[in-house]
């Protein structure tokens, strides 16, 4: 009995000693966690407030990739309150701000720690067409100089709409694109990509695209007006037929042509002016 009592007492002592070691280990672990978290917090505060990592003036923002947009204009658009820590800035938010407010297709903002600053790489939007509108949006004929029409926006090759006033504020010296568009609507954006791709490849010079009437797309070309009907998959075929008609002026005076009808490219037609028709009837 004495041996059993002695063994039980030793086991109890070992268990107490083991429990005390566990408690000390857990306490030490928690202490290190507190010290580590405190160190991280102090380190973050020190990093944010460290003077060497502060943006103190716009010259610390480097702009790359710009051509027509001035660096100072781009810097002025950034919501930065100087002096401000580089670490407090959100690069994605700054990039989105530039892409939304300026004619910029893509912007990448990178924080630089040594020396402190920002590197902004941009890809500008390049307008390829000028959008015009009339005060009454009538379907009246358009003269060569687009009298009574005014500029409302510009388009790039992807159909991105750039309000003229905003674009002009960034590009005061840039000339407007020669290609003119009238009556384009926001729902035409996907169609515009295909239309412009075909127009840009056309051997026949196209100066104006009149899209005021969805059922009849009208092109102003150096051969005269061309009626295409609703824009569709056969538009490239219509331009191909128009290319084959480039010698039309050798047989018919341009002033005698009212318009070229390519609504059915398999059966192109030339509508003459009333004066030309009357003259032909008189000759006959």
Instruction: Look at residue 279 in the predicted model and tell me its pLDDT.
Output: 39
**CA proximity to 64, closest of 114, 115, 128, 110:** 110
Give the containing element (helix H, strand E) for 166: helix 164-170
**d(Cα 277, Cα 87) in Å, to the nearest integer?**
77
Instruction: Look at residue 283 in the predicted model and tell me its pLDDT.
Output: 45
Instruction: Look at residue 281 in the predicted model and tell me its pLDDT.
Output: 39
**d(Cα 269, Cα 72) in Å, to the nearest integer?**
55
For the chain, the helix, strand and coil percentages under 3-state DSSP, each to the nearest 5: 45, 25, 35
Chain mean position to CA 107 = 10
Look up tokens 């020190």; give the residue. 46
Local confidence pLDDT in tens for the 284 residues of the chain:
445 445 566 676 777 777 777 777 777 777 777 787 777 776 666 555 555 688 999 999 999 999 888 899 999 999 999 999 898 999 999 999 999 988 999 999 999 988 899 999 999 999 999 999 887 655 666 766 677 888 999 999 999 999 998 888 887 777 899 999 998 987 888 899 999 999 999 999 999 999 999 999 999 998 899 999 999 999 999 999 999 998 876 777 777 888 999 999 999 999 988 654 433 433 44
**d(Cα 195, Cα 91) in Å, to the nearest integer?**
36
Q: Judge whether 182 and 149 are in contact, CB under 8 Å.
A: yes
Spatial CB neighbours of 33, under 8 Å, sequence gap ≥ 6: none
pTM: 0.73
Instruction: Look at residue 8 in the predicted model and tell me its pLDDT.
Output: 67
Chain mean position to CA 272 = 43
Chain mean position to CA 117 = 26
Instruction: Look at residue 277 in the predicted model and tell me its pLDDT.
Output: 44
**CA proximity to 120, closest of 82, 161, 89:** 89
């Amino acid at each position: 009995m004495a041996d059993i009592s002695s063994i039980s007492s030793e086991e109890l002592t070992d268990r107490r000693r083991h429990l005390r070691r566990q408690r000390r280990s857990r306490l030490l672990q928690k202490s290190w966690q507190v010290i580590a978290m405190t160190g991280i917090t102090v380190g973050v505060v020190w990093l944010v407030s460290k003077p060497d990592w502060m943006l103190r003036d716009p010259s610390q923002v480097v702009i790359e990739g710009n051509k027509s947009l001035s660096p100072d204009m781009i810097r002025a658009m950034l919501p930065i309150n100087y002096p401000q820590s580089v670490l407090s800035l959100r690069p994605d938010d700054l990039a989105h701000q530039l892409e939304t407010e300026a004619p910029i297709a893509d912007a990448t903002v990178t924080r630089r720690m040594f020396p402190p600053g920002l590197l902004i790489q941009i890809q500008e939007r390049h307008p390829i067409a000028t959008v015009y509108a009339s005060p009454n949006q009538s379907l009246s004929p358009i003269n060569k100089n687009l009298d009574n029409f005014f500029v409302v926006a510009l388009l790039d090759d992807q159909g991105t709409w750039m309000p003229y006033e905003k674009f002009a504020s960034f590009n005061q010296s840039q000339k407007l694109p020669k290609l003119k568009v009238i009556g384009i609507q926001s729902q035409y954006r996907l169609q515009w990509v295909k239309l412009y791709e075909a127009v840009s490849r056309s051997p026949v010079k196209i100066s104006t695209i009149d899209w005021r009437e969805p059922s009849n797309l009208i092109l102003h070309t150096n051969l005269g007006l061309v009626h295409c009907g609703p824009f569709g998959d056969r538009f490239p075929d219509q331009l191909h037929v128009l290319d084959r008609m480039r010698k039309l002026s050798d047989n018919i005076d341009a002033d005698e042509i009212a318009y070229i009808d390519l609504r059915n490219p398999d059966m192109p037609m030339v509508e003459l002016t009333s004066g030309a028709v009357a003259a032909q009837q008189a000759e006959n």
